[in-house]
Structure 1
């Protein structure tokens, strides 16, 4: 299967299921930026349930901007806050310490563009997973896609189909039950090296 998909902020498990089961992955980098999507949002599992991590952006609704041109708003300390949230949520998970050293620099190095940062996060997670993908990037935006399965709709956080993935043990599942399709970080910290086997055994609903 050859697919096209958006690079998002620490992509959802659905994103990674689609990619892990594909022969080639084309990353959509020529689209316009749309707010309230996974382009600058990820969900994790905290002590009080599902938590949204949002990258603040400098964005004008009047003048449409390409995804690649949208800058991060760095006046507030969002990176430090996101890392604190991850520590709070996953420091007791089985594999947090195993991957923390690889991930922590992402929350201390200066960030300018959302897309560039997302690609860096994506690359780091693939290294952690030891997931070797056959990657390419779009050079023009095409609304209709031929010869590839179009997984770009997965970027829409509000319109996505519920994904019923198999349960795995989550840190706070005894409090709030199993929460499906969180950020790949949730799977990584809880399942570690078994994460890729899990991804390859699941099916995405579009």
Structure 2
């Protein structure tokens, strides 16, 4: 089934359940106008004080089309995000195993948000041993024929997906936090991540 997906920064688990579904033919949207406060430039991880949002700062120079958008290099966000991820997951069962690959995500120096997200996705696919292929839109279509997920994943509201609980490093303090970044699943479930993703269902 042709499925239109936005390109996210270290996407939530629900996004990956759609992306990796066998009968979904994935088309990435590359001509949409950048919407604020979405997972296109943010990801949620499980920090020592609960849910922590990591947000990539955007260079607001006038360009708003997602594949033209540039990131701002103020605040050294790459090193800060990597430090936050390392601090959050260094005690998780599989962080040491994937640390070098995860760190490689932040060695990408181009300033394109779109290309940075794709670079991160390719590394996550390697970790998951996924060879899922995808194509890109050729223009922006307001009412596409494909199954449209462009506005389906909200950074503000409860996830519209049902997912089984799994062990998380700080769950004894704050309980299970659902639908965090794929990083959370990988660091806690390791090789079982792909099996887990198959059990994530829309509510």
Structure 1 residues without counterparts, runs of 5 or longer: none
Structure 2 residues without counterparts, runs of 5 or longer: none
> 2: CA distance between counterparts of 1:64 and 1:111?
16
Asked if structure 1 preserves the Cα contact closer than 8 Å seen for 2:30 and 2:66, the reply is: yes
Compute the displacement of 1:159 (Å). 5.1
- Give the direction of change, closer, same or farther, for the CA distance of 1:68–1:160 in structure 2 (3 Å limit): farther
Q: Which residue of 2 aligns with 1:40?
A: 41
Asked if structure 2 preserves the Cα contact closer than 8 Å seen for 1:42 and 1:52, the reply is: yes
Q: Which residue of 1 aligns with 2:95?
A: 96
> 2: CA distance between counterparts of 1:109 and 1:120?
8
Compute the displacement of 1:75 (Å). 2.2
Q: Secondary structure at the match of 1:58?
A: coil
- Give the direction of change, closer, same or farther, for the CA distance of 1:28–1:85 in structure 2 (3 Å limit): same
Q: Which residue of 1 aligns with 2:20?
A: 20
Q: Which residue of 2 aligns with 1:177?
A: 175
> 2: CA distance between counterparts of 1:31 and 1:157?
18
> 1: CA distance between counterparts of 2:173 and 2:157?
27
Q: Structure 2 length normalisation: TM-score?
A: 0.93
Asked if structure 1 preserves the Cα contact closer than 8 Å seen for 2:108 and 2:119, the reply is: no
CA-atom RMSD in angstroms: 1.6
Asked if structure 1 preserves the Cα contact closer than 8 Å seen for 2:31 and 2:67, the reply is: yes
Q: Structure 1 length normalisation: TM-score?
A: 0.92
Q: Secondary structure at the match of 2:135?
A: strand
> 2: CA distance between counterparts of 1:162 and 1:53?
21
Deviates more, 1:16-25 or 1:29-38: 16-25
What does 1:14-163 correspond to in 2, within 5 Å?
A: 14-23=14-23, 24-60=25-61, 63=62, 65-146=64-145, 148-158=146-156, 161-163=159-161
Asked if structure 2 preserves the Cα contact closer than 8 Å seen for 1:18 and 1:204, the reply is: no
